[in-house]
Amino acid sequence: MSLEDRLYPLLRIYEKAPEGFRRFVGTTYRWLPSSVRLGKAYSEFRRLIERSEEWDAEEIQNYQLRELRKTLHHANAHCPFYQKRFAEAKFQPEFLTTPEEIRAIPLLEKKDIQDNLSDLASDAIPASQRLHITTGGSTGAPVGFYLQKGVSRPKEQAFLESMWKRAGFFDGARLAVIRGHVTSSKSTGKILSHDYTRNWLMLSSYHLTSDRMAEYLEAIENFQPDLLHAYPSAALQMAEYLESHGQSWRTSLKGMLCGSEWLTNPQKKLLEKVFGCRVYRWYGHSERVVLSGEGALSDLFYFFPTYGYVEFSEPNEDGLCEIIGTSFHNMAMPLIRYRTGDYARIVKSDSGVELEFPWDTALEFAGRGQEFLVSATGRKISLTAFNMHDRIFENLYAVQFYQDQPGVAEFRYVPGPGFDPSREPEILSRIQEKLGADDFRITMRPVTETEKTDRGKLKWLVSRLSEV
C-alpha cells in the first residue's frame, strides 16, 4: 500500500491543523520521492501509459483481452453477485476469446450496486485494503462502491497527470485550484488555503460573487501558478467578471484544466481568449471505470484503452450513445458492463476524421451541466462543487435539490430500506456546512420519487428561479 493510502484516514485531521504545522508536514511530504508517496503502482502505470500510446490496434486488443480475463476470472471466483449473474447468463470467463464477447453479460445498473454492495465486493481483498467512496450524486443517484488501496488512487493520479501533460502540466507544477474546496462555511469567510503537500493554491468555489472577485484575481496573481485547475462554471464566472468590468487576465498560464462539468466548444473558445492559454477538457467519473481526454493536437476525446474497457449503446434520437464500462485493475470491487448514465457523440471509424490514437473517440459529452444553487446574498454554488464522496448519502436511492427562491432550498431524498431517519440531522449539517450556514436555509423532505427529465433521467437540481 502507498504512503498516501496509509495516511488518507488522517487527512481531515491534517486539514484542521494549524497553518504552521500543515506547512511543515506538507512540504516535507512533498519532497518525498513519488515512489514512496504513491507507491510502485504509480510508476508502473506511468510506464504503461507511455508505452500504450505507441500501440497499434492489435496490441490494444491483446492488452484489453488480458485485463478482461483477469477481471472476469476474479469476479467469478470471489464476488457472489457476479457468480450468480454469470451462471444465469451461462457465461464462462475461461472461454473468452474477444473483448466483444462480454456482451453476453447483462448490464450493471446503479441500483444493482446500491442493493448488492457486499456481494459485489471481492472476498479475496480484505476490508483493510478497500477504500469506500461514493459518487458525488451529480445525476441525483449517489452510489457507494469500493476502490483498491495501493492501486486505484495511484492509477488515477498517473493517468490524470499523463493526460494533463497535453495541456502543459509537468511534475512539480504549481496549480491554482477552484474545484469545490471548502475554505469557510460563512458567506463572508476566507476564500483561500494552501495545499502544501502539492504546493497548490486552493480557492473556494462557493464565494465567487462580483464583489469578491478582485480577491480571487489578486490571490492568483500573487501565487503565479503554472496552470489554473477549475470547474468550468467557476472559470466562466471569472471570465464574465473580467469582460463585464473591462479587465484583462494578467497571469501567464501554461494551460487551464477544466473537468467534472461539460464545457461547450464556444465556452472553451471564450475561456481561451480571456485567459490566453489552452483550455483542456476530459471525461471521467468517481467509479473510475473509463477515462477520456482531449488529444494533444485536437478537441477530440480519446478513451484510454489501458484504463478500462468501454462500450457504447445504440445512438438515441439525438445521436448520443450511453457510455458503458468495465473496470481494470480494481479487484476490490470490479464493475462489469456498468451503465454510467453519461452520453457521448462517438466518432465513427469510417468518418474520415484523422485521429491521434487508434482508440475509441468522442466528439462531445452530454450531462453533468453547469447547475447552480443561489444563496440569499447572490452566491452561485455549482452542484458539482457540492458533490459528496463519503458515506453521507448512504442508503438513499435518489437525492435532489428544489429551489424557487434565493437562499432557500428543499433537499428531497428517496430512502432505501436500510436508511435510518435519525441520520437526517447529520445529513442536514453536512449540507449546511457545504452551502454556508448564514445565507442558506435548507429543509429536508423524504419522497417516494424525485422529479425526472422528459426521458426519465434523474435530476440533481430542480430550479424555478428563472420562472420567479
**pLDDT on residue 457:** 58
**pLDDT on residue 391:** 72
**pLDDT on residue 369:** 56
| Range of the structural domain that residue 442 is part of | 372-463
The set of residues, in sequence order, having a beta carbon less than 8 Å from that of 262 and lying 6+ positions away, is 232, 364, 365, 366, 367, 368, 369, 370
Say if 219 falls within a structural domain.
Answer: no
Sign of the Cα torsion 201, 205, 207, 212 reads: positive
Distances (CA, A) of 44 to 190, 234, 389: 40, 34, 27
**pLDDT on residue 314:** 94
Say if 117 falls within a structural domain.
Answer: no
What secondary structure letter does DSSP report for 314? P
- In the chain, what percentage of residues exceed pLDDT 70? 94
**CATH code of the domain in which 393 resides:** 3.30.300.30
**pLDDT on residue 468:** 45
Question: Beta 361-366 vs 338-346: how paired, if at all?
Answer: antiparallel
**pLDDT on residue 453:** 64
Say if 433 falls within a structural domain.
Answer: yes
Q: pLDDT tens digits, residue range 47-75?
A: 999 999 999 999 999 999 999 999 999 99
pLDDT < 50 positions in the chain = 468
Domain count within the chain: 2
Say if 270 falls within a structural domain.
Answer: no
Say if 396 falls within a structural domain.
Answer: yes
Say if 43 falls within a structural domain.
Answer: no
| Cβ atoms of 219 and 225 closer than 8 Å | no
**pLDDT on residue 72:** 98
Say if 112 falls within a structural domain.
Answer: no
**pLDDT on residue 373:** 85
**pLDDT on residue 410:** 92
C-alpha 429/C-alpha 425 separation (Å) is 6
Say if 96 falls within a structural domain.
Answer: no
